[in-house]
């Protein structure tokens, strides 16, 4: 009887391990699909404007935390979003925000660039 119990417990353990691995893989698959986790996307399908704007807010907060841009940008909302010509004839998303109260007029407009699928590329105050 003891051999049978050990055999059953091995089968149960094997089943539980398999079930746990399967559930883990299934629950993480939406993160790996087209949507990408934390604004990281795969493929060439252009993102919708709402997705790019959400990613722009996330990356703006990241830039503030890293000290790359002033904390005053946190309250500033985007002014525009458009697809622009990039190098080599490719298109990318450009999200523009303006801080009319900026002391340094050279830093009055923040430009954020994203690939068409929505990946963050760069941010600057020149638009280039």
Rounded to two decimals, what is the model's pTM? 0.69
Q: What pLDDT score does 34 carry? A: 36
18 compared with 76, residue with greater pLDDT = 76
Q: Is 64's pLDDT higher than 60?
A: yes
Question: What gap in Å lies between CA 58 and CA 94, rounded to an integer?
Answer: 15
Q: Reading across the β-sheet that carries 109-115, which strands appear in turn?
A: 78-85, 91-98, 109-115, 120-124
Q: What is the DSSP letter of 87?
A: G
Do the Cβ atoms of 47 and 93 come closer than 8 Å?
yes
Average pLDDT, rounded, for the chain: 81
Q: What pLDDT score does 32 carry? A: 33
103 compared with 31, residue with greater pLDDT = 103
Which whole number is the average pLDDT over 71-92?
92
Which whole number is the average pLDDT over 21-45?
56
Do the Cβ atoms of 119 and 34 come closer than 8 Å?
no
Which whole number is the average pLDDT over 20-26?
50
| 39-58 residue pLDDT tens | 888 888 999 999 999 999 99
Tokens 């990613």 sit on residue: 55
Do the Cβ atoms of 114 and 95 come closer than 8 Å?
yes
For the record, the structure tokens of 32 come out as 């790996």
Nearest CA-CA partner of 96 in 49, 39, 56, 41: 56
Length of the chain: 128
């Amino acid at each position: 009887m003891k051999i049978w119990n050990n055999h059953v417990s091995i089968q149960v353990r094997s089943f539980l391990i398999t079930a746990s691995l399967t559930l883990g893989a299934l629950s993480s698959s939406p993160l790996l699909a087209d949507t990408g986790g934390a604004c990281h996307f795969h493929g060439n399908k252009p993102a919708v404007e709402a997705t790019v704007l959400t990613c722009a807010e996330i990356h703006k907060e990241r830039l503030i935390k890293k000290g790359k841009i002033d904390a005053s940008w946190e309250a500033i909302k985007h002014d525009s979003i458009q697809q622009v010509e990039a190098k080599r004839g490719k298109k990318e998303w450009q999200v523009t925000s303006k801080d009319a109260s900026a002391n340094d007029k050279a830093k009055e407009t923040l430009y954020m660039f994203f690939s068409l699928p929505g990946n963050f590329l760069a941010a600057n105050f020149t638009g280039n």
